[in-house]
Structure 1
């Protein structure tokens, strides 16, 4: 084990520069709960590291791992504006590597359908149930398209497809299923977006007791140079 100390005006960028220099497989970063203001306005070092670091970042909580862990991979094949197929496959591969055949691996997908009050087209309101069913089928279809390469499907015992807001569903799932590590992707958001709707990653990290592994898209380009 080697130790390295350095000074940098920007802590997160200093960490990322060390990552670029030493090329580790993963960054372990101890994390504490954030205040609401610090969470949304001041972009804490934690979130900056998660967004800029080119390798997976494991947010470590004050909790030891058991001999046999429960690890859940959170996939999202229908996320708008993102090439999710590549990301979800990458995320599942990272989870398999972490499980290493010795730990229990699960897969979770959360999805939301349109609330009835949000539909203004009278024809769509009339056929609301059919619309909901169509949305649900599309989520199951896309998930199966990702999972089949890993010998899984939405009917597998280790796969859960749950209707609900992602941040709340993932947090509750981790708590009620005694999850030790949540593995999820990081979708880039602007500061304005985070002020309005926050970030699923940030919410989950702040609201679960277990560790959270953040995995970047395979085509991620690091904004920091060595």
Structure 2
């Protein structure tokens, strides 16, 4: 499945070896897509303007060298070398990145996640702004000791949506995740959480006279209904290839972070803004809870009708 055609890789020009750059080149090759580099960096003070041209060119040269080395290592001859690179110096890097996406109509943004001081989970402010406001799918890459073609990929979806736009997003998530998995191990893990929201309330209040067997039967109905909807959504997506379905009992923000650790997931594909990514998924609520409790790479997709507040 050829999902991407116009990929943008972003960095600050000061990083050493970039795992995200390796992913960008590999995905561009797999999708026969265009790939461009964008460096966002601070401006030099006015007292150092004589060095501006050298400063900018040195950053461009460093990224171009990294791109060429990775391209040679991966053996990707179908793309021209060097890849085109642009640079933007100044404040507000998130705004600069998003405006570049708008100008060039990119369909995927790949960026290494901002480094944390230690093994702290979650993402820093710049990355969270991109997750909330970038109009195209965004891949925030976290370092992994694994080879790029050995990463475990998962997608989190909610099949219980009824709105056509929400169903459309859920299907696109599956298709996007399939494309990502094709660039790694080839196996896609599909995770979805189901929960009878009244179960705990009814089971643990002795004054509510409902027999356990009646409640158990209702819980089983909820599970079965959710699983059938999940399988129907996967069928509608028409994705092929190796896939494993994980049907978890509980809420997404409770279950998914632990499941990611248990299954050694390296890349999680999710939706934001609409509910289709995960039940109740809204940036600032369930999605943000998950973003800040995982230590894997994220690939995040927004619905077709999403309009970025940054133009």
TM-score normalized with structure 1 length: 0.76
Q: Between Structure 1 and Structure 2, whose CA radius of gyration is higher?
A: 2
- Offset, 1:122: 4.3
1:148 matches 2:248:
no
- Offset, 1:64: 4.9
Contact 1:180 1:211 in 2 (8 A): yes
Deviations 1:117-136 (A, max 9, x none): 4248947x343222212221
Unaligned runs of 5+ in 1: 190-196
**1:89 aligns to what?**
171
Contact 2:131 2:138 in 1 (8 A): yes
Contact 1:71 1:180 in 2 (8 A): yes
**1:208 aligns to what?**
294
User: 1-side partners of 2:89 and 2:274: how far apart?
Assistant: 28
User: 1-side partners of 2:132 and 2:100: how far apart?
Assistant: 15
**2:139 aligns to what?**
58
* 2:257 aligned to which of 167, 171, 185: 171
1:98 matches 2:180:
yes
**2:224 aligns to what?**
137
Contact 1:70 1:179 in 2 (8 A): yes
Contact 1:28 1:58 in 2 (8 A): yes
Q: Larger relative contact order (C-alpha < 8 A, sep ≥ 6)? A: 1
Unaligned runs of 5+ in 2: 1-82, 276-282
Contact 1:75 1:88 in 2 (8 A): yes
**1:14 aligns to what?**
96
- Offset, 1:177: 1.1
Change (3 A) 1:24 1:148: same
Q: Secondary structure at the match of 1:158?
A: strand
User: 1-side partners of 2:156 and 2:200: how far apart?
Assistant: 28
CA RMSD of aligned residues (A): 3.2
* 2:215 aligned to which of 125, 128, 131: 128
User: 2-side partners of 1:16 and 1:95: how far apart?
Assistant: 22
Contact 2:139 2:299 in 1 (8 A): yes
Q: Secondary structure at the match of 1:218?
A: coil
1:220 matches 2:291:
no
Farther off after superposition, 80-89 or 172-181: 80-89
- Offset, 1:151: 5.7
Change (3 A) 1:100 1:212: same
Q: Secondary structure at the match of 1:95?
A: helix
Q: Provide the aligned length of Structure 1 versus Structure 2.
A: 206
Q: Secondary structure at the match of 2:88?
A: coil
Contact 1:75 1:109 in 2 (8 A): yes
Contact 1:25 1:56 in 2 (8 A): yes
